[in-house]
Amino acid sequence: MIIFPRPVVWSMWGISEIAVMATDLAEFLGGAIGLSLLFNLPLLYGMGVTALVTYGILLFEGKGFRPMELIIGALVSIIGLCYLAEIVIAPIDWVSAASGMTRPSLPDAAALMIAVGIIGATVMPHAIFLHSGLTQSRAPVTSDADRGKLIRYSNVEVVVALAIAGMVNIAMVMMAASAFHQGHSEVAEIEAAYHTLTPLLGSAAAAVFLVSLIASGISSSVVGTMAGQIVMQGFLRRRIPIWVRRLVTMIPAFAVVAAGVDTTEALVLSQVVLSVALPVPMIALVIFTSRRDIMGEHVTGVVARFLAIAAAAVILCLNLVLLIETFGLPISGFAG
């Protein structure tokens, strides 16, 4: 059932494809930089290794969703364990951390930009389509009762996944604040962070940082390719070979490195692209789940609908502020 005009549908598809490529650019570059630093490889070699490993993992997709879930789960577990180790190694001020969690503040535009970036890193535009696609193929549905059970399991899975992603991002910020805030606030690049971590916290902490970066890059690249396949299949009713899909999402990353573009600037720009793309699936999701002719008895209730609209509005406002800050325009009420 299509409830949007065809030009809107085509625009949504185009924006979703750009979001997948932007996500893959960031994560693919992150994994490649990690391999490059850990094994002292040229960056292009690191990208090649990341591409081969990602493609190898994607071959398991033909064996069903369970092997892919286990592989992605293992990689996410590695990321979580790495940052758990980092916050144990780093001399974190736990009293200040607890105070910040219970009394959050946004003292300036830079802090707001970081907060918006964390939201974008946790709720990816393509992940909304991917979760929907995976839910449909998870188990056979023969009745509304089966459908309701599947929705409940899916809701729990999404909440757990977002909670884990949020905790990893919190651990990342805490480690960075502990290691670099005092006397090393100029650290703004992955390479600089790695080289600064070695004298500050030891070579083990620096190596753990790179392992988490590699695991994050590979897992997110796999997820991005799968999401791209779901996006194309949903909007165009077409499915292309997985190696073609992988190649399409890799091209921007290779082009950026081959052109000599600063990788840190490319990563920042990719997050700006995501901030533009995120509202598209969010608004569509709110509209679809509010329609009884689409959802039947599973239509969202008044409270859930209000919370969804409020959350979408807040994220839209935060993303707008991120764009304003990125393009260097003054923001009333915030220091520069």
Within-domain flag for 333: no
Alpha helices in 123-189 (DSSP H): 125-138, 144-180
Within-domain flag for 331: no
pLDDT-based confidence at residue 138 (cuts at 50, 70, 90)? low
Please state whether the predicted TM-score (pTM) of the whole model is above 0.95: no
Of residues 71 and 126, which shows the higher confidence score? Answer: 71
pLDDT at residue 189, as a whole number: 58
- Please tell me the number of Cα atoms within 13 Å of 250 on its side-chain side: 23
Within-domain flag for 196: yes
Q: Which domain holds residue 113?
A: 6-326
| Domain CATH number, residue 116 | 1.20.1740.10
Within-domain flag for 143: yes
pLDDT-based confidence at residue 190 (cuts at 50, 70, 90)? low
Within-domain flag for 95: yes
Within-domain flag for 318: yes
Please, is 246 exposed, middle or buried when counting C-beta atoms within 10 Å of its C-beta (0-12, 13-18, 19+)? buried
Token look-up 């930089």 returns: 33
pLDDT at residue 166, as a whole number: 74
State the average pLDDT over residues 65-90: 79
pLDDT for 192 beyond 70: no
C-alpha to C-alpha distance for 324 and 194, rounded to whole angstroms? 30
pLDDT at residue 113, as a whole number: 66
Q: For the chain, how long is the longest CA-to-CA vector?
A: 61
Decide: helix, strand or coil at residue 20: helix
> What is residue 264's DSSP assignment?
H
Number of domains making up the chain: 1
Within-domain flag for 1: no
Of residues 145 and 336, which shows the higher confidence score? Answer: 145
Q: What is the mean pLDDT of the chain?
A: 75
pLDDT for 172 beyond 80: no
Within-domain flag for 200: yes
